């Protein structure tokens, strides 16, 4: 047992999305701190993973101890403006199904929230929805 | 003043009472030691008097269930020991894991085991025990 590898957790989350969106029909996906210039009137996905609270779960300090690490993955789905929400929700379902109550490499995903339409898309010029997936990882020291 | 936080505690256990070993995944323990009293009041007394009598203890240990965690299975399953001779040994630490230091040691019997699986929460095991024989306190 060892301290949690946050990069491995991030890779688990992002790798799952990258693999899905590489399959047909493929979609561009961009992650934290990556440059991306979207093509106007195209569909694309942005995935932002953040780690949040940690809490003690058991005795043991730095040996034999358990911690709960929780985090949130925000997935923004961008589709062309003015053509209705259908195409966006198709992508949203693919993403939702990907994480819905799934356990992968020790990462427990909750039931996702969304896709929820956002009134002020960022960047502008797209129809944007957001899927939020809370996750937790039990760290075993 | 040196206060202690709960997470520095631990529990050691051995079902056969020979070699104590840490149970991985414990998250709380409690122990209540009770001393019975005998009434020694006599005719003519105006205040009741007592002497201390038999001492016993009981408590609980709670675990974050992990079937692969060292020591958990032996601890949890001790409740199904038939004809239990009360040979299981316990050491409950407030801090550290140095035997006979900051701890209470005793032999005992696990009298209850409850395992709870709730949607959205970790599976938790709670075991109750009673002491049998001498309780040695090293809490000073």
Domains and CATH numbers, chain B: 6-35+49-138 (2.40.30)
CA–CA gap between residue A136 and residue A106 (Å, rounded): 9
Residues comprising chain B, all counted:
140
Q: Give residue for tokens 């399953």.
A: B77
Q: Could you tell me which residues of chain B have a Cβ less than 8 Å from any Cβ in chain A?
A: 6-11, 22, 24-28, 63-64, 66, 70, 120, 122
Using one digit for the tens of pLDDT, what is the confidence trace for A20-31? 999 889 999 999
Using one digit for the tens of pLDDT, what is the confidence trace for B95-119? 988 899 999 999 999 999 999 999 8
Chains A and B: how many Cβ contacts under 8 Å?
42
Domains and CATH numbers, chain A: 6-33+41-140 (3.30.2000.10)
What interface predicted TM-score (ipTM) does this complex get?
0.71
Would you state the torsion angle of the CA atoms of residues A61, B97, B24, B110, taken in this order, to the nearest 10 degrees?
A: -130
Strand pairing class (A103-104; B103-116): unpaired
Which tokens sit at B104?
């209470």
Would you state the torsion angle of the CA atoms of residues A49, A50, A55, A60, taken in this order, to the nearest 10 degrees?
A: 70
**How high is the pLDDT of residue A1?**
59
Question: Nearest residue on chain A to B97, judged by CA atoms?
Answer: A60
- Residues (pLDDT < 50) of chain B are none
CA–CA gap between residue B12 and residue A67 (Å, rounded): 20
Residues B63, B25: contact at Cβ < 8 Å?
Answer: yes
**Which of B55, B122, B54, B127 minimizes the C-alpha distance to B92?**
B127
Beta strands in chain A, from DSSP E residues, in sequence order: 29-31, 44-56, 66-80, 103-104, 107-109, 113-117, 126-140
| pTM of the full structure | 0.79
**Which of B140, B135, B129, B136 minimizes the C-alpha distance to B26?**
B129
Contact A59 B64 (CB under 8 A): no
pLDDT tens, position by position, for chain A (141 residues)? 578 889 999 999 999 999 999 988 999 999 999 888 888 889 999 999 999 988 888 888 777 788 899 999 999 999 998 888 899 999 999 999 999 999 999 899 999 998 999 888 888 889 999 999 999 998 888
């Amino acid at each position: 047992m060892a301290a949690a590898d946050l990069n491995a957790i991030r890779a688990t989350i992002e790798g799952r999305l990258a693999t899905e969106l590489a399959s047909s029909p493929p979609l561009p996906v961009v992650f934290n701190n990556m440059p991306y210039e979207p093509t106007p009137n195209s569909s694309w996905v942005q995935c932002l993973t953040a780690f949040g609270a940690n809490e003690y779960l058991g005795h043991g300090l730095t040996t034999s101890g358990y911690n709960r690490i929780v985090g949130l993955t925000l997935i923004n789905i961008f589709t062309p403006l003015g053509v209705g929400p259908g195409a966006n929700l198709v992508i949203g379902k693919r993403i939702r199904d990907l994480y819905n109550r799934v356990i992968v490499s020790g990462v427990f995903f909750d039931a996702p929230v969304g896709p929820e339409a956002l009134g002020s898309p960022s960047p502008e010029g797209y129809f944007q929805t957001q899927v939020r997936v809370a996750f937790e990882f039990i760290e075993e020291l | 003043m040196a206060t202690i936080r709960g997470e520095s505690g631990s529990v050691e256990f051995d079902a056969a009472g020979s070699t104590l070993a840490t149970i991985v995944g414990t998250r709380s323990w409690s122990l209540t030691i009770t001393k019975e009293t005998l009434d020694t009041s006599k005719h003519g007394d105006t205040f009741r008097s007592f002497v201390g009598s038999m001492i016993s203890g009981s408590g609980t240990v709670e675990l974050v269930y992990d079937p692969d965690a060292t020591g958990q299975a032996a601890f949890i399953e001790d409740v199904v020991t038939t004809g239990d001779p009360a040979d299981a040994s316990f050491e409950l630490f407030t801090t550290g894991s140095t035997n006979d230091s900051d701890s209470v040691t005793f032999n005992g019997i696990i009298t209850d085991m409850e395992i709870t699986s709730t949607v959205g929460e970790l599976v938790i095991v709670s075991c109750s025990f009673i002491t049998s024989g001498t309780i040695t306190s090293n809490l000073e």
